[in-house]
Chains A and B, each alone.
Chain A
Amino acid sequence: MSDFAEWARRATEPSTAAGKPEALKGIRVVEFCPGHFGGMVAASMLAEFGADVIKVEPPGGDPLRLVAPEEIRVAGTGLPFLSEARNRRFVTLAAGDPAGSGVLRRLVLASDVIITTEPPDRMEAMGCGYLSLRKEHPGVVYLYLSTYGSFGPDAGRNVRDSDLLCQALSGGPYIVGEPEREGAPPLPHEAPTRLGNWHGWFVQGLWGAYGVLAAIHFRAETGKGQVVDMAGAEALMMFADYNITWMHTGGKARERVGNFDPAVFPYTYIRCRDGYTFIAAYNDEAFDSLMHIIGRPELTRDPRFSTPKNRVTLENERALLALLEEWSGNLTADEILAAVEEYTSKQGGPGAAVVTGRVNRPLETLAEENWRERGCFLRTEDPVYGELLLAAPPWKMSGTPARWKSGCREPGSDNRDVYLGILGMTEEEYRGLAEAGTF
């Protein structure tokens, strides 16, 4: 290992994070997003950096706890909720009741940020709308997550936000999946294809957290709070490459091309002896390297492949894929990686840009030493929720590392701590509200 790698390891190893300061310590966040995963992600991103997040669930628990693919539940809670329920306090509140909405308002007024997925008119009716909050708390940062956003002609559309709606509108699935063949009825998979995880919801939450941090930065300079309006449709949209610039400059729209790519090739998955692996070598120098690696250096002079432009016609991409798979079919993904590394380690600059990596099934990812050594996964233990395997915060930071501190707790676990400790309720008030069903 180089001296720098040694230093980087010592400075950022997740196991050393616990004693270090946290970037967002002192920022309090109220998460009021019933049934909504994007809201959980937004809160988790802030919580991993040290914000004090309080998740408000309806009495009995958040509806997202009930969502359970393959009916797998732990102590009544499904895996999607458990995967994001981290680093926060869990309170229950009948926020729709007058007493409950009063408590919610007090909680937000004692906080820096509110994240909500509830429509503005409902929040207003509860006395927790932005305009009313900011009168008392001009520094409040108010993140509203929805499908279409809070303004614009479609803002009033009657939908309940979901990952699927965010994905469908984003332009993502439109360019994921196999195109239809001509002259044959389409097969089920010849369709715009959703990303298998909740990537639409995840990125909605991630952009929301980013917007909140930009707003907090601005508040530190000016003292002013603001609204962050985050439309889930527009989250993955930012990742849809050059959709708009190509439409504008060339009048061309991106369409589905399966595992091919209209701008770079080779840049695809190739079949190998033990599954599939990714191979890329699209600039001329890298393409030359790859043709040497596969033992076909003459192909760099083949008119179909001799320029980047010729390599990206679909017909030529198909022909090149077939040639690549003639080579890769007898090799394992690891052998391909070794061959690429052996050749490119002797190259410098653009000729070394031959890139590969096995298309891992999740269990294959889990078995790779790199991620284990870098602490990418956690095994947590909890008396209620048992042993869980979770993804760790992805950032390694030398000064104020992000970290995992606590996992899921039962609904209302932190009621006393929050309502007495933060809101300063008396025992009598607390008991009265609990007995009235407000918590």
Chain B
Amino acid sequence: MPSDPPGPGGFRAFASLAFDPAAIGGKPEALAGIRVLEVATRIFGPATADYLGVFGAEVIKVELPFRGDLMRYVAPEGFFWKDVSPAFLALNRNKLHVGLDLHPAEGKELFLRLAERSDVVVENLRAGTMDEWGVGYLQLRERNPRIVYAANSGFGQWGPFSAGRASYDATAQAVSGFSAITGFPDQPPLKAGFWVGDYTAALMSATAILAALAARRKTGEGQMIDLSQAEAMIRTLDWTWPYAGLTGKDRARNGNVDPSFPPSGIYRCRDGFVAVSARDEDELIPLAHALGATDPEESRIAAPALLEAFCASRTVDEVVRGAEDGGFSAAPVRGGKHHYRDPHLRARGTVCPVDDPLYGRVDEYGPAPKLSESPGRVKWSAKPVGWHNEWVFGGLLEMTAMEMKALERKKVIGKWADVPGARPPKGSTAA
């Protein structure tokens, strides 16, 4: 490392070097050497494995031969690009894709052999399915007691709702109470327009996996993690539960004003929307001043109605600059189209180009936490079903081409079906 720059601003100078996205390729990865098997569909499981893969774990994504993960066919407005859905790309970076059917005995045995050589299994099938198939935690630990097994589900691996019940993101949004407290009081409950009930739980699952790996370092033993996505969402609802406990009441939907920090909220401006935030008197008094209070100590004037009128007559930029100069806080309400072109996010690698050997340039969200020594990174994009069969079965399991052919004939292993979503882009050498 270079010697520390002296004086104030030292950290800023250090940070711009230490976090330089251009230098990431030459640095080690935090989770290098950890191998993850993913047996999952759609979002909850795949996102869990994606978070591990972005920080350097080797993720082998096991899909049913031919059609693969049904998320492949979730496409915004039915749009496929180079025969892959942009929605599938975002969840499956840095993975090795194998097509392997866990129903036939030979498929189970191959999976068990992979598990012997792996550290982590992530699955999100209905509770108990992997066990029924003979490849659940109890069977895997016989072959590999060090395995950390994340069983992601809607309602948990045991309990009244666990048997047979499927779940998506919005099941968790709905049953947890999350949607009931989101939206406006005179309107129906609101479903978040993004699959927050999957990602939140996926990040909690990935976090528990890292904790379990830390434990394994001491004990040498793996374990099973049972995470319900509804229970993950329940955990995020801050004061909802103590409020219900003390008052016997439901916390209300409070629209766009944060009831903990009124009048902080999202407000309409002439040209868009802005979030205005004032956490305490140090910010409320300058905010009141901006709203026209003459007594400098008067913070009560900063009521939502006044702030609403203040914003309505200004542009987003005027409000943000007014806040930064005045001593309260504000930020624009941004969407994906802003992110795509945002120089700040580009400079941070939070929006980053990926140079993919099959698809060419694909822009993605990069990792959220930035690590100065062992940063996360997106190395390649999602691939067609079975794209890495030879790499994994031939390389890792040392199978011969003949053995693989035989299993292909029996449909135990296989590659993509000739449909958009599963297959390589037209005109690519593999297609």
Contact = CB atoms under 8 A, between A and B. Distances in A.
9 contacts: A150-B15, A155-B15, A172-B192, A194-B266, A194-B275, A228-B371, A243-B365, A373-B160, A389-B246
A124 B241 contact: no
A151 B73 contact: no
Interface in B234-264: 234-251, 253-256, 258-261, 264
Contacts of B370: 149, 151, 211, 227-230
Given A164-B277, A244-B351, A210 B207 contact: yes
Interface in B167-201: 167-168, 170-171, 173-184, 186-196, 199-200
A250 B180 contact: no
B158 A360 contact: no
Contact of B264 (A164, A267, A345): A164
Given A84-B238, A129-B11, A195-B196, A396 B174 contact: no
A243 B171 CA distance: 22
Interface stretch (A99-107, A292-300, A306-314, A417-425): A306-314
B168 A267 contact: yes
Interface string B59-87: 00000000000100111111101100111
Contacts of A198: 238, 260
A242 B340 contact: no
Given A252-B77, A278-B174, A171 B335 contact: yes
B208 A169 contact: no
Interface stretch (A52-60, A89-97, A232-240, A428-436): A232-240
A12 B4 CA distance: 48
Contact of B244 (A237, A242, A389): A389
A15 interface: no
Contact of B174 (A159, A211, A257, A277): A277
Interface stretch (B224-232, B295-303, B385-393, B394-402): B224-232
A1 B158 contact: yes
A250 B200 contact: no
Interface residues of B, number: 180
Given A151-B19, A357-B154, A371-B234, 4 more contacts: A162-B277, A237-B368, A242-B76, A366-B241
B358 interface: no
B12 A262 contact: no
Given A147-B331, A397-B225, A400-B211, A360 B174 contact: yes
Contacts of B416: none
A174 B189 CA distance: 17
B364 interface: yes
A273 to B, nearest CB: 15
Contacts of A164: 258, 261, 264-266, 275-277
Main secondary structure of the interface of A (DSSP, over half): mixed
Interface in B346-383: 347-348, 350-351, 361-365, 368-374, 376
A437 interface: no
User: Which of A84, A236, A393, A400 has its CB near the most chain B CB atoms (within 10 A)?
Assistant: A400
What 7 pairs across the A-B complex have the smallest Cβ distances? Answer: A389-B245, A309-B78, A243-B336, A211-B369, A399-B223, A168-B275, A174-B335
Contacts of B45: none
Nearest to A401: B223
B30 interface: yes
A226 interface: yes
B365 A150 contact: no
Nearest to B14: A131
Interface in B313-350: 323-324, 329-340, 343-345, 347-348, 350
Interface residues of A, number: 199
B91 to A, nearest CB: 8
Contact of B16 (A21, A74, A151, A249): A151
Given A24-B214, A152-B344, A228-B371, A193 B171 contact: no
B158 A9 contact: yes
Contacts of B178: 195-197
Interface in A212-252: 213-218, 220-222, 224-231, 233-250, 252
Interface centre among B81, B280, B368 (most CB of A within 10 A): B368
A283 B15 contact: no
B210 interface: yes
B171 A356 contact: yes
B200 A35 contact: no
Contact of A160 (B183, B277, B336, B371): B277
Given A206-B204, A245-B86, A312-B77, A400 B223 contact: yes
B16 A211 contact: no
A98 interface: no
A256 interface: yes
Contacts of B275: 164-165, 167-169, 194
Contact of A21 (B18, B70, B215, B345): B215
A402 interface: yes
Contacts of B170: 267-269, 278, 280, 357
Interface string A323-353: 0000000000000000001001100001011
Given A24-B211, A256-B193, A362-B181, A283 B371 contact: no
Interface in B267-300: 268, 273-277, 279-280, 283
Contact of B11 (A5, A130, A208): A130
B406 to A, nearest CB: 26
A388 B242 contact: yes
